Amino acid sequence: MNMAFIWSCARRLSLTLVPLLTPLLSGCASVPNVIPDIVSHYRLQESVVSSDLYDLRVYRNQAAATEYLHIYVPGDGVPWLHRVFIATDPTPKNSLVLHMVGVDKNPALFLGRPCYYGLHESRNCHYDLWTQARFSERVVSSMVQAVQTLLQDQPHKKVILFGVSGGGTLVTLMAPRIPEVVAVVTVVGNLNTDLWTQEHHYQALRDSLNPYDMQNFPENIRQIHLIGGQDTNVTAAVTQSYVAKFGGDVWEYPGYSHGCCWLDIWPGVLQGVHKKVLSAAGELRTEGD
């Protein structure tokens, strides 16, 4: 029997039985201690921002204010246990994105997704938000609203959105709705969710938006998409399908995979991103200016 069919059936059964499985699995899906350790190591400031529907975790670095604000959105975390059972808490055991915020010398914040990072029991949370509806309109609009609230509290003229894996999906969907955004940077970002599910024989994300299905993308927002040559999760074909339709720069790192080794080069990536953004805006100074 086809294994993809078996996994699909098992996941459908998990969706049906999740109310019964939740008490059994809750001990396996609690928020890991490594997140507070990362926050403490980089001295990140923790808070919660509320949208109309959800509460979202925020971690902010303590860099001196500039006109630019970097906003990072993390990936899908752990939506499934053993690829079959729905997790009661999708928060991952570690967070590459928190490390990225920590090493960023620019004003930067980590914007958690609804119901992640200790908020899985907060208002309106449902397992759909980290499974079929992980990129839904209500998730995207709530995160946009959260950004608007954060910018009201601490205004910045220009915002660069960074998204890793599924976070790349979200920042690409969010960017056209936030006037302050001047650039979007994705790292192994899932920019065509339909193609991604087809490649892996996953069940379609039927309640989610797909960046590839957007009508257009604002030309004034610079797009930079980082891909790993060894990435078998989000393949180059997924990124290239999106770029062929909407444009953007693709930075490929041949020896890199979905999880390795993006933090090692992150300071250099940030320098390259700002150079591209300033160049596009005509603000880049040359020698003798």
Report all structural domains of the chain as residue ranges with CATH numbers, in order of start.
Answer: 3-280 (3.40.50.1820)
Burial 240-261 (b: 16+ CB within 10 A, else e): bbbbebbebeeeebeebebeee
| pLDDT tens by residue, 136-151 | 999 999 999 999 999 9
Count Cβ atoms below 10 Å from residue 204 Cβ, excluding itself. Answer: 12
pLDDT > 70 fraction of the chain, expressed in percent and rounded:
86
Amino acid at 218: P
Q: Which H or E run contains 150?
A: helix 137-153
Amino acid at 242: Y
**Mean pLDDT, to the nearest integer, of 34-59?**
97
| pLDDT tens by residue, 10-43 | 445 444 444 444 444 444 444 445 899 999 999 9
Q: What is the pTM of this model?
A: 0.88
Q: Is the dihedral of CA 48, 223, 42, 152 positive or negative?
A: negative
In the predicted structure, residue 72 carries a pLDDT above the cut 90: yes
| Closest by CA position to 164, among listed 97, 116, 217, 107 | 97
Q: For residue 23, what pLDDT is reported? A: 44
| pLDDT tens by residue, 175-194 | 999 999 999 999 999 999 99
User: CA-CA distances (angstroms) from residue 103 to 47, 97, 108, 186?
Assistant: 19, 10, 10, 17
User: CA-CA distances (angstroms) from residue 158 to 141, 154, 221, 277?
Assistant: 20, 12, 11, 11
Q: Per the structure block, which two tokens stand in for 204?
A: 């379609």
Q: For residue 286, what pLDDT is reported? A: 41
User: For residue 198, what are the contacts with CB-CB under 8 A and spacing of at least 6?
Assistant: none
